[in-house]
Amino acid sequence: MAEPAKAIHATLIHSLSPTHLEILPNALLTISSSGTILSLQPNVPLSDVPNILAQQNIQHIPLAGLSHGQFLIPGFIDTHNHAPQWMQRGLGQGMHILDWLDGITFPNEAKFADPAHAETVYEKLVRGMLRQGVTTASYYGSLHGEATRVLASTCLRAGQRALIGKCNMDRNSPSFYCEASAEESVAATRECIRHIKSIDPAGDCIRPVLTPRFAISCTGELLKSLGDMAREDDSLAIQTHFNEAAQEINATLSLFPDFSNEADLYSSFGLLTRRSILAHCTIMTEYEVQKLRELGCGIAHCPTANMTVGGGFMAAPVKEFLRRGMSVGLGTDSGGGYSSSMVNAMRHALVTSYARDALYPNSKKAGEALSLEEVFYMATRGGAKVVGFEERVGRFGVGLEFDALVVDLRDERGGVNVPLDGGDAPERMLEKFVMTGDDRNIARVYVKGRVVHGEE
């Protein structure tokens, strides 16, 4: 059923660029019944709102005003998330990547052979992610076609935007969790893509993404077939893990001895394009940074997993990626990342960048530490660009779609303590939210103008 059109009067905070945070106090937003932003006027006194709406001939739409202690931000974009790992979050901290995959992850993901298990877990996952303000996610599924189709249908039903990828993996995992051949993996992938395109033909909410888990899990034949598919259909995004950890890089290069680095390897199969989403990029040579920049690849920075499970146990050179104008978003990488909260991911991006700055004090003129503006950008607008939704979401603007979070820092929500004596300016409220907030402070979540979590 179509939503009624609505208007909201609130303080808006969004990113115009990695360094430019825009704060619009007392803004009046009007949103069409199909979720598109019709108008955006800053500095509108509340008393003027009825007249302005009357002039626009939309005086009858419900007005959800936000009071002091609340503000509106764009929905979060999680650029890297493993859907079947929802139930294993928190396990295996400190393990190296290949040991963690064998010991914890593959046995867990194998359970998704049962579509009923997928139904149960994916319902919890999608509700849980929406509750945490993730309005768009780029999901890796398990290797199972049917479970991945369940994930797609669940996102569409709940109203979460998502890229959905059936994991491709035809070698180097236990026989109970390995595809029989490249051919079988490709056939199941094609079937998933067909399903996703049939239930959301315009890709408004869900879109398919090619998902070779990483080169260790895929034969050259499989990587080649997926590269061919990407070339044939330029609507397809591609996601994989890239230069995650020393253990992983060494294993990859010994499986592909013709290559001396992962950038050349993946690009030789046609898997590095402007539609690629490369998770981690933790250990990077100058040659590879330059190559990814030239190819226009997106980077999913996963600060939590990078420091806790497998990810090289070091902070990625994110400041350098941003300095070079590369496209960077944030990923929770849950369940390698123990938390599926993007607030936590922003916080960890800051903290790990401070550590990197201290470790490499003379590495770059401008230093390695990220700013609040930069991590907020990566969690919203930067992420939207990485996952290919930047024409629709990631910030507020006329013609864009209304994916937004009502952040509520008032005492009664618990969590962040903001004095209500008028002491906190909006930028300070944002800083407190990023550094100390959690899902208790996300009061309402909109996707395409529709409330998908919280009360209207």
Residues forming contacts to ligand XAN in the complex (CB under 6 A) are 82, 97, 101, 105, 213-214, 241, 244, 305, 310, 333, 336
> What minimum distance in Å lies between the beta carbon of 226 and ligand XAN?
15
- Decide whether 241 or 448 has the Cβ nearer to ligand XAN: 241
Closest CA to 332 of 132, 165, 196: 132
- Decide whether 156 or 215 has the Cβ nearer to ligand XAN: 215
Cα separation, 425 vs 51, whole angstroms:
28
> What minimum distance in Å lies between the beta carbon of 303 and ligand XAN?
12
> What minimum distance in Å lies between the beta carbon of 126 and ligand XAN?
19
- Decide whether 105 or 353 has the Cβ nearer to ligand XAN: 105
Cα separation, 102 vs 100, whole angstroms:
6
- Decide whether 9 or 82 has the Cβ nearer to ligand XAN: 82
Question: Is residue 291 a contact partner of residue 267, using CB atoms and an 8 Å limit?
Answer: yes
Angle, alpha carbons 270-275-281 (nearest 5°): 80
Closest residue to ligand XAN, based on beta-carbon distance: 336
- Decide whether 100 or 377 has the Cβ nearer to ligand XAN: 100
* Tokens 């955006």 -> residue: 40
The reply to whether omega before 335 is within 30° of 0 (cis) is yes
Q: Counting Cβ atoms within 10 Å, is residue 430 exposed (0-12), middle (13-18) or buried (19+)?
A: buried
Cα separation, 332 vs 378, whole angstroms:
12
- Decide whether 29 or 302 has the Cβ nearer to ligand XAN: 302
Closest CA to 149 of 224, 200, 108: 200
> What minimum distance in Å lies between the beta carbon of 312 and ligand XAN?
10
> What minimum distance in Å lies between the beta carbon of 377 and ligand XAN?
23
Angle, alpha carbons 391-393-397 (nearest 5°): 85
- Decide whether 278 or 405 has the Cβ nearer to ligand XAN: 278
- Decide whether 102 or 390 has the Cβ nearer to ligand XAN: 102
Cα separation, 223 vs 240, whole angstroms:
11
- Decide whether 305 or 430 has the Cβ nearer to ligand XAN: 305
Cα separation, 26 vs 284, whole angstroms:
44
Cα separation, 426 vs 430, whole angstroms:
6
> What minimum distance in Å lies between the beta carbon of 267 and ligand XAN?
19
Q: Counting Cβ atoms within 10 Å, is residue 201 exposed (0-12), middle (13-18) or buried (19+)?
A: exposed
The two three-digit tokens of residue 424, written as one number: 């906190």
Helix (H) / strand (E) containing 31? strand 20-31
Cα distances from 194 to residues 198, 209, 211, 213, in angstroms, run 6, 12, 15, 20
- Decide whether 163 or 416 has the Cβ nearer to ligand XAN: 163
Angle, alpha carbons 243-245-248 (nearest 5°): 80
> What minimum distance in Å lies between the beta carbon of 326 and ligand XAN?
21
The two three-digit tokens of residue 313, written as one number: 């146990």
> What minimum distance in Å lies between the beta carbon of 243 and ligand XAN?
11
> What minimum distance in Å lies between the beta carbon of 305 and ligand XAN?
5
Question: Is residue 209 a contact partner of residue 151, using CB atoms and an 8 Å limit?
Answer: no
> What minimum distance in Å lies between the beta carbon of 244 and ligand XAN?
6
Query: Which ranges of 62-161 would DSSP assign to H, the alpha helix?
Result: 97-100, 106-110, 115-131, 145-158
> What minimum distance in Å lies between the beta carbon of 216 and ligand XAN?
7
- Decide whether 13 or 151 has the Cβ nearer to ligand XAN: 151
Please tell me what DSSP assigns to residue 177: G
